[in-house]
Amino acid sequence: MKRELVIVLDFGGQYNQLVARRVRECSVYCEIYSYKTDIETIKRMNPRGIILTGGPNSCYEENSPTYSRKLFELGIPVLGLCYGAQLMMHVLGGKVERAPVREYGKTEVLIDKADSRVLKGVSEKTICWMSHFDYISQVAPGFEITAHTADCPIAAAENEDAGLYAIQFHPEVLHTVEGTKMLYNFVRCVCGCSGDWRMDSFVETSIRAIREKVGDGKVLCALSGGVDSSVAAVMLSKAIGNQLTCVFVDHGLLRKDEGDEVEAIFGPKGDYDLNFVRVNAQERFYEKLAGVQEPEIKRKIIGEEFIRVFEEEARKIGKVDFLVQGTIYPDVVESGLGGESAVIKSHHNVGGLPDYVDFKEIIEPLRDLFKDEVRKVGMEVGLPEKLVYRQPFPGPGLGVRIIGEVTAEKVRIVQEADAIYREEMDAAGLNRTVGQYFAALTNMRSVGVMGDERTYDYAVALRAVNTIDFMTAEAVEVPYEILGRVMSRVINEVKGVNRVLYDLTSKPPGTIEFE
């Protein structure tokens, strides 16, 4: 049975992935596409509903992202959010102009039509997240106003007969208290989706599809020991058994003792039979990274060197037909595919293989999933909870947690500092409440005094964030006494560090990682 699909057309909004994530929370499968996707492609996808995201432009200006009127005449329900709502009104004959009062942040919205299908069950007065400098001053013909605020006369509007709904605020963010209810109403009640998107069916379908694709071919899996690659490896093992070989490249950029821990779990003496091969390539990576300062170049060097190592291992194994990677959906979008997002990550090989790679094809069984969905799959395939819910770790490893040039000495410093930080956070029980925490090594050196001696050493930065989907994140207020213990231990136990900082930056404007 073909799964039901709701598509998100991305107009450059910062919350586009959150929209898709919230729809999936309603047990409805959702994918993101650029607003440049042509109407015939959309027809072929046969979506049950379409959601238009926010964006930074003014829809009435020349060269702003737009779509033809035909989109709203397909007979498919459309929900416009923020810029998407304004664009809907603009294209269909309403009026959008610069607002006399800009709204930003938590705003009280008053519901004018309680029986609206999208606003059904929402409180008469509800808190929503506004972020706009333009506003809808006049609805398009056939629309009625369904909500307003003190400064925004048209906070929501709809043409129920045509299945068109416009919302000026952002129901996808957690600050909109009843936003998930609104999205649920749209995809389940308006679009009529049954809500059959579940992890157990995803696992079953994916394993069957992998088995059919691979046939009697051989598969090489890039196993890092992180959540994503571990889940991907076990899925492949369940699908094709000993046709799979898992290569673990210890590139010297792992957390302290992590290489040995990964081997203990997945190696010959572990609980899983993955034809595990460990490649100790620390010096090779350090040589390639010597003198390199720029973050994107470092990522590309690490990614390309991984491919080179896999090619070499594949030749030792013999003919290998497929390469498995633990790419997940945010990697796809942040690599510049699947929407209008700028390229944020370049270390993931998404969108196809370069010409010089010897494998027939890449298999990415988790490509459609967000991080929390990957964890659910991990539990479904029987991985231990401790592994499934371990701290996330980026593909390039400590290469993106060391600012500037990567050296063996810098790796040692950040490994030891990070181990201390994680040990103290775990001892305080914060591993159960904080989404992600780690230490990074800045490129800043400063003067300090240790004993009777003057020092000139590095500053370590501590990071702790909470996030649901890893697309937005807020810094955690770690108790000062814990930070104090970490600071004292790092400075006393880690040679080369004389200063410890705490990073308060949210995402956006920052990223969770440092580079």
Residues 62 and 149: beta-carbon distance below 8 Å: no
Give the count of beta carbons closer than 10 Å to the beta carbon of residue 502.
16
Options 25, 31, 172, 416, the catalytic residue: 172
CA separation for the pair 7, 15 (Å, rounded): 14
**221 catalytic, yes or no?**
no
Backbone phi and psi for residue 169, each to the nearest 5 degrees, phi listed first: -95, -175
**148 catalytic, yes or no?**
no
The DSSP annotation for 186-247 comes to: IIIIIS-------HHHHHHHHHHHHHHHHTT--EEEE--SSHHHHHHHHHHHHHHGGGEEEE
Options 170, 251, 347, 348, the catalytic residue: 170
Residue 66 tokens, joined = 């737009």
Residue 485 tokens, joined = 């213990």
Residue 411 tokens, joined = 């790796």
Reference 295, options 337, 343, 341; nearest CA is 343
Residues 6+ apart with CB under 8 A from 238: 207, 381
**175 catalytic, yes or no?**
no
Reference 18, options 71, 62, 54; nearest CA is 54
CA separation for the pair 55, 64 (Å, rounded): 10
Options 59, 82, 128, 193, the catalytic residue: 82
Long-range contacts of 69-75 (CB under 8 A, 24+ apart): 70/39, 71/39, 71/42, 72/162, 72/164, 74/39, 74/42, 74/43, 75/163
Tell the burial category of 425 from Cβ atoms under 10 Å away from its Cβ (0-12, 13-18, 19+): buried
Catalytic site positions: 82, 170, 172
